[in-house]
Amino acid sequence: MTSAEPYSDNLEYLQEALLVLNLRLHRQILRWRAGHHQEATADELLGLYISDREVDALLDGLYSAGAPPDADALDHAPIATINQLLAEADQRHTARTAATLRVGMTPRLLTLAQRLDLDTFEQDVLLLALAPEMNRGYERLFGYLNDDITRRWPSVDLAYGLFCQDLNQRVAHRQAFVPQAPLQALRLLHLSQEPAPVPPGLLTRLLKLDERIVAYLLGSDVPDPVLDGLLTRLDSSSHPQPPILDDTSRDRVAALCDYLDCKTGGAPVISITGPDHLQQVQVACYLAEQARPGTALLLLDGEAVGDHAHPKDVVARAVREARLAGAALALKAADRLASVGGRAALALHDLLMAGGRLPTFLLAAESWDLSSSPGEAPLLHLELPAPDVEARRRLWSVSLNGHAPDVDVEELAERFRLTSDQIAGAARQAYTLASLRSPGDERQVRREDLFASCRAQSTGPLDSLAQRVESIYAWDDLVLPAQIKQQLLSLEHWVRYRHVVYGEWGYAQRVMLGRGLAVLFSGPSGTGKTMAAGIMARNLELDLYRIDLSSVVSKYIGETEKNLSRIFAAAETANAILFFDEADALFGKRSDVKDAHDRYANIEVSYLLQRMEAYDGLAILATNFRQNLDHAFARRLQISIEFPFPQASDRERIWRQLLPLSVPQSDDMDLTYLAGQFALAGGSIKNSVLTAAFAAAAEGSPVTMRHLVRAVSQELNKMDQPVVRADFGPYYELL
């Protein structure tokens, strides 16, 4: 016996598989004719009836397309002859299929069956449903066998008649059509159901192959169009291998790789949580590659699925697409489906039940309860914290790739606590800024490009919780005693050289908590506390956010803590300086417990103390009344700076700085007198100068002593201070 020839391609395989199906259909037609007799003629039911002669012609046409034995000889062949031809054709098809597999080619139907765990009966059903997609002649044959010309698709009953030998097989294969079985669960085919008061039974349901499966079986790898914009393919080569992680996370990932190497049976569901989405995706890609080399990752958008009208259908199609592509599936924002509930939660349930040979990844920003998840697949959890300083340094080195040779990546890594995708985004934005300045030369990335890009990446939730404060001042504009200025400069040095002390000098290994700095600015109103914070932020190229206490403190129990938690959580990722103005209103002395409200007020302060100790950035607390601050809270502040009320000499400097030579002014200006006579803080002096300047501009004259004196009297009235003739002396008449 000569060895069987392998099929030349997928189409030739399908053609011979259809030849076997044609013989089965021929046998079924003969059986059907034996059990039925015509009660009407073709003339009576013209257009609604298929004659035996037309059926024979249709069979001849199908045989001709499949190049079988002599079709004419089959027209009146008995069932025994058809059975013999069917056995021979089936044997030949089986042998050629085996030969095809031996030479390394797998027909699409067999590949689909392997990847979707289909048995022989389910494969036969798919081939049956594929037939009318390849030749419309099958439609009239199916109408004939369904005894209804309008039902032109194969029915479940026809599938049983073609592929089941007895009632036991029919009962056993009924499970292939339940919603949990692959044919329906993975949307391989649809069981059509005609609208009726009473739903029809399973046997009368028609089998319609899904368009994506038709395309796949005919050789197309174009993804399901239903998933456009929802599913993204990521190859392992698109991300660094292995991912850039801190030591602890790297050990956890290595342990998972060892587990995947030793695991037999079903693949696990791996929940990956953390604030860094790109890092989660990179780890999922890496683990998929470790589970099976060359495996791609399909990333499904959980936010979009949660908002979709049919989330269960989307998830089913995504699982199917991953199986067809031999890829692992990852669902980002997986907790979104659980929180939405309803059909979205059911879609997540289906995903957990899907199983498979490759891991399924659930990506989320925060941990969520999966303890009661369904399915037999092992459930593993991997928590990935935000990249530490060393990981950020390596991420910067990869993202910049030598394009910023003069930039200190250690400083970038320490100054800005960015995630992986934020670092990549900041680098791209810096390249754009550099190319706009020097077209075609991305290597001209400057420090200011990167700092501006990092600040842009840091903006987010904090913008809705606090007010960003811009500053145009420098240290020379701030009039303070030299000792106070030196203290302020030391704060700036603390932020600027963190990467040296904690990184190069190794203090990061000795100080695990409280690497941030909480500073108290105290002193009378208008002495420069806000101005100093703004100057510091401007020099450090960081954003300054002023916390609006009215939006933080709440009369409702527990709400203040929630507001504070949101602020500190947002500040951790914003890489900003927090400025709590009039902090004594929030951080006042803890009271004696007299009632429940006192007890909860004390809890608010205690909670704040804990958050301040854990915060990793710079927080500046400003108060006009230091004596009102809680002593326990004050002890936890690393630095306290008292802004003194300016003396006469300092006040004169402030007057003169606010009246530079660019301002037109008369010769009668006596700033020394104003500074000596009126004990005004810097803020009040600024208000007075501006009031005088606008008054002079309205008159079309330079600023005169009259304008200044009147502005000072207005400022005194605003502060409920008396306007006394003795204070104004010779200038009282100008009022």
- CA trace torsion 533, 538, 541, 546 (10° rounding): 40
Nearest to 275 by CA among 388, 150, 406: 388
Give the integer Cα–Cα distance in Å for 336 and 305: 9
CA separation for the pair 123, 118 (Å, rounded): 6
Concatenating the DSSP letter of every residue in 621-660 gives EEES-GGGB-HHHHHT-SEEEE-PPP-HHHHHHHHHHHS-
Establish how many alpha carbons lie within 13 A of residue 735's alpha carbon, considering only the half-sphere containing its beta carbon: 16
The pair of structure tokens assigned to 570 is 């947002």
**Alpha-carbon span 499 to 412, nearest angstrom:** 9
CB 187 within 8 A of CB 313: yes
Assess contact for 377 and 355: CB atoms under 8 A: yes
Element (H, E) at 381: strand 379-383
pLDDT at 595 over 50: no
Q: How confident is the model at residue 13 (pLDDT cuts 50, 70, 90)?
A: very high
Provide the pLDDT for residue 596.
46
Please tell me the predicted confidence (pLDDT) of residue 622.
86
pLDDT digits (tens, 9 = 90+) for 302-336: 999 988 899 999 999 999 999 999 999 999 988 88
pLDDT at 101 over 60: yes
The residue type at 631: H
Average pLDDT score over residue span 505-513: 69
pLDDT over 80 at 300, yes or no: yes
Structure tokens at 324: 């067809």
Structure tokens belonging to residue 207: 């089998």
Q: What is the pLDDT of residue 194?
A: 63
Torsion angles phi and psi, residue 640, rounded to 5 = -125, 125
645: Cβ–Cβ under 8 A, 6 or more apart, which residues?
A: 523, 524, 527, 679, 681
Strand (E) positions, 149-286?
189-192, 206-209, 231-234, 269-273
In contact, 430 and 404? CB cutoff 8 Å: yes
pLDDT digits (tens, 9 = 90+) for 149-202: 888 899 999 999 999 999 999 999 999 999 999 999 999 999 986 655 556 788
CA distances from 212 to 127, 139, 189, 221, 320 (A): 14, 20, 10, 9, 10
What pLDDT is attached to residue 41?
45
Predicted pLDDT at 590:
47
- Which residues fall within 8 angstroms of residue 369, CB to CB, at 6 or more apart? none
Alpha carbons 734 and 673: distance in angstroms, whole number: 14
* 450-495 confidence digits (pLDDT tens): 888 888 887 667 777 788 888 888 998 899 988 999 999 998 888 8
pLDDT at 128: 95
The tens digit of pLDDT for each residue in 582-592 reads 776 665 544 44
What are 333's two structure tokens? 């924002």
Q: What percent of the chain is modeled with pLDDT above 70?
A: 83
Q: Which residues are within 8 A (CB) of 721 and not within 5 positions of it... i.e. 6 or more apart?
A: none
Which domains does the chain carry?
10-217 (no CATH), 225-383 (3.40.50.300), 389-456 (1.10.8.60), 475-642 (3.40.50.300), 648-734 (1.10.8.60)
DSSP label at 67? -
Query: DSSP readout, 311-376?
Result: HHHHHHHHHHHHHHHT-EEEEETHHHHHHH-HHHHHHHHHHHHH--SS-EEEEESS----TT--SS
Q: Which residue from 378, 382, 394, 388 is spatially nearest to 255, judged by alpha carbons?
A: 382
Which DSSP helix (H) or strand (E) runs through 382?
strand 379-383
- Supply the pLDDT for residue 586: 60
pLDDT number for residue 48: 43
Do residues 605 and 611 touch, judged by C-beta distance below 8 A?
A: no
Provide φ and ψ at 398, rounded to 5°: -70, -45
Q: How far, in Å, CA of 482 to CA of 720, rounded?
A: 32
Q: Which two tokens stand for residue 46?
A: 């013209």
- Separation of first and last alpha carbons in the chain: 125
Residue 454: the pLDDT is 85
pLDDT of residue 265: 65
Using 50, 70 and 90 to split pLDDT, how confident is the model at 94? very high
CB 373 within 8 A of CB 379: yes
- pLDDT per position as a tens digit, 658-717: 988 888 989 888 999 898 999 999 989 999 999 999 999 999 999 999 999 999 999 899
Instruction: Express each pLDDT in 382-426 by its tens digit.
Output: 999 888 888 888 998 888 887 787 788 888 888 888 888 889 888
Integer CA distances (angstroms), 410 to 140, 390, 415, 544, in order: 74, 8, 8, 22
**Burial (CB count within 10 angstroms: exposed 0-12, middle 13-18, buried 19+), residue 657:** middle
- Using an 8 Å Cβ cutoff, are 267 and 117 in contact? no
Average pLDDT over the chain reads 83
Query: Is 202 strand, coil or helix?
Result: helix
Residue 64 backbone dihedrals phi, psi, to 5 degrees = -60, -40
- Whether the Cβ atoms of residue 396 and residue 434 lie closer than 8 Å to each other: no
